[in-house]
Homo-oligomer: A and B are copies of this chain.
Amino acid sequence: MAIRIAVDGMGGDNAPGEIVKGAVMGARQYGADIILVGPQDVMQGELAKHDTSGLNIDIVHTDEYLVEGEHPAYALRKKRKASIAVATKLVKSGDADAVISAGPTGGVVASALQFLGTIEGISRPVVGGAFLGFTPNMLMMDMGGNVDCKPYQFLDFAIVGTVFAKKMLGIENPTVALLSIGAEEGKGNEVVRESYPLFAKSGLNFIGQVEGYDIPTGKANVIICDGFVGNIIVKFGESLGKLIAKYLENELKGKIPDADLKHITDYMIYATNAADARGGGPLWAINGVSCVAHGRAIAEEFAKVIEQAKIVVEKDIVGSLKAELAEIRSKIGNDIY
């Protein structure tokens, strides 16, 4: 049976046009069934612009949707039939295997928490992944909203990252490291120092601490930091890459063929910001598959998130996460929580 993806047809800067187009592309490329959630007439109008022959695309009607700038939790209370809420509930009810939205991230997170909840023992979703083209086998967790973390949260990130690296990247025994300001145990801030002994007895393939220098070189497969640090690093790298691409554009224009120059500047963007190239990714540790697409995603990017959602469903990452969590916790005991 084909994977069924609920798509928030009204979420994103380029909704509904690019979202519906991307959904059609994803359905075609990855053989997914699509449930578009949005106003019936709008969705139908967009669908009519594309060749949907042989595809399985349904529409679930709703008139409401979130807009950027609203407080997500508050807006969701007012708009009980917001497209992201309706789409997420389709996963809860089993009518869809995954939900994808390019709408406000806070709304995707709030809907996921409200209707799907987190895996037992993890209180908040985790965001992370491989973010540098230089090191496709290095992923960082958390990049999202988990700030001021406790050691047990770091351990959760590490477990999520390990499962991600195993199942999504095919790495057999992923190495895990704590991001810090020196390699030796004892160097770092409080949460790093407290996490070290916990990681050491976790049964994870813990290789100790790495430094900022080791991020682009991919010294570990899974690098653990709080979402404050992770978010700043990801955005810093992205910004640096864009400045460098611009510098090279100016410096090399006319000196090498335009196609070569484009190859180089494109690679600079990709190397420093692979996350963008993927168009988005899943919220980890949610008890179901909920994916955030970039707000400014165009059709091609949105389609790539459909591919990711499909992989996460097919590989049963959620089930693997639950099993790994249970196993690691049985090893180190529950007294840390």
A interface residues (Cβ-Cβ under 8 A, vs B) = 132, 134, 145, 147-148, 179-181, 188-190, 192, 211-217, 225-229, 231-240, 243-244, 247-248, 251-252, 255-256, 260, 264, 267-268, 271-272
Contact = CB atoms under 8 A, between A and B. Distances in A.
A134 B181 CA distance: 24
B190 A212 contact: no
B240 A216 contact: yes
B235 A189 contact: no
Contact of A236 (B227, B237, B247): B237
Contacts of A181: 145, 147, 227-228, 231-232
A273 to B, nearest CB: 11
Contact of A267 (B145, B247, B271): B247
A94 B229 CA distance: 42
A236 B212 contact: yes
Contacts of A234: 212
Given A228-B188, A233-B236, A243 B217 contact: yes
Interface centre among A233, A236, A238 (most CB of B within 10 A): A236
A228 B190 CA distance: 10
Contact of A233 (B180, B212, B247, B272): B212
Contacts of A240: 132, 134, 216, 237, 240, 272
A239 B215 contact: yes
Contacts of A189: 147-148, 226, 228
